[in-house]
Structures are given as structure tokens and as C-alpha cells.
Chain A
Amino acid sequence: MFAPSHFTAVLLFSTFASVVFGITQRSTPKAMVRYGAYCWVLFVVSVIAASWLMYFVRK
């Protein structure tokens, strides 16, 4: 059984989703890479920001 940490699961999810978003939402290879990277960063940064928010809400 594969039991990743929450953050590892986030990284995997972000990577796979960003690849598909990049390829399907843009037309040129350069734009695909840029948009995929943008989505990946947005996924990861959003999760980290939400995590800190929940940490302070809990305190």
C-alpha cells in the first residue's frame, strides 16, 4: 500500500493536474509549459497558504 504524507500527495496531485491543464488549455508548447508551471505553483502555494490559515484559526 502506498501511504504518502499529505504534502507528498499534494505535490503528486499538482504535478499530474498541471500537466493536463497545460496541454489542454494552451496551444503552443512554450505556452503549455508556462501555464503548467503556473498551475503547479498556484496549487502548491494555495495549499501552503490554506494550511497556515488553518493553523492560525486552530490557535
Chain B
Amino acid sequence: MASQAQPPASSQPQGFAYSALLLGWLVPGAGHLLTRHWIRAVLLFAAITLMFAFGLAMQAKVYSPNTGDPLDILGFCADLGSGALYFLARVFSLGAPTVQLVTADYGTKFVVVAGLLNFIAAVDAHNLRIGRKA
């Protein structure tokens, strides 16, 4: 009788497999909340949201969709990683349209990196959801 190796039933996600990825992207830490990792969720939410908020407080440039300079396009892609935070910043016109101060340059990097970190956090939540990470 041929044996079939099957993963344990508990490692299979219930429902939509990408829910943690999407939720984690939309709200920092929410993907970990979905996988019931409360402390990780709170820490990720605090770290990414504070980084984004400090960036805006430093008069960061928030990139808008564009087809111009490749660095501006990459900046937009990175900013988009913050999910709802990015959309809120755009809706309420937070930040500055151009970088005029040294601290505004730091702030722009804070906002960009907050988005990139949120991408990493969302992928981590997805790995927890599908059982690839404990």
C-alpha cells in the first residue's frame, strides 16, 4: 500500500490563504493579529506606525503615482507598502510636496522604509498563516 505524505490538517489555513498578507499590508500588524500573535502584532503596529508618523512630522515627501524619475516610481512603490497609512496621508495631504530641509529628507526615508518594513511584516504574517513559520 502506497503511503501518501500529507501535511497535518492544522497547518492548512482556514478560509482565504492570503488574508493575513492583505490584512497585514493594509494595517501594520493586523496580519499577525489574524494569526493570534498578539504581542508581535502590537510591536509591529507600533514600530511601523510610529516610523511613518515621525517621517510625516519631519515634513516627509509622500510620493504620488508617477511615471517620471525611476527613483520617484520606486519611492511610490515603497510608500504604498504602508497600506492604509499611505492612503490616509494622501487623503489628508500630510507631509510636504517637496523636500526643503535636511530633516525632511530623513523623514522621506522614514516613510519609505516604514512601507518596506510593512511589506516584510505582511509576508511574515502570510508565512505564519500558511504554517511555513512557527
Chain A residues within CB distance 8 Å of chain B: 1-4, 6, 9, 12-13, 15-17, 19-21, 23-24, 27
Q: Which of B15-23, B51-59, B68-76 contacts its partner?
A: B51-59
Which A residues touch B113, using CB under 8 A? 13, 17
| A15 → chain B closest CB, angstroms | 8
Chain B residues within CB distance 8 Å of chain A: 40, 43-44, 46-48, 50-51, 54, 57-59, 101-103, 106, 109-110, 113-114, 117, 120-121, 123-124, 133-134
Question: Which one of A2, A9, A12, A20 contacts B48 once the chains associate, using CB atoms below 8 Å?
Answer: A20
| Nearest CB in chain A to that of B28: its residue | A20
A16 touches B51 (CB 8 A): yes
B59 touches A24 (CB 8 A): no
B47 touches A2 (CB 8 A): no
A1 touches B57 (CB 8 A): yes
B134 touches A4 (CB 8 A): no
The SS class assigned to the B binding surface is: helix
| Nearest CB in chain A to that of B134: its residue | A27
Q: What is the bound-complex CA distance between A2 and B55, given in angstroms?
A: 9
Interface centre among A3, A4, A27, by most B CB within 10 Å?
A: A3
B103 touches A17 (CB 8 A): no
Interface centre among A6, A12, A20, A27, by most B CB within 10 Å?
A: A20
Given contacts A1-B58, A3-B58, A4-B58, contact A20 B133 (CB under 8 A): no
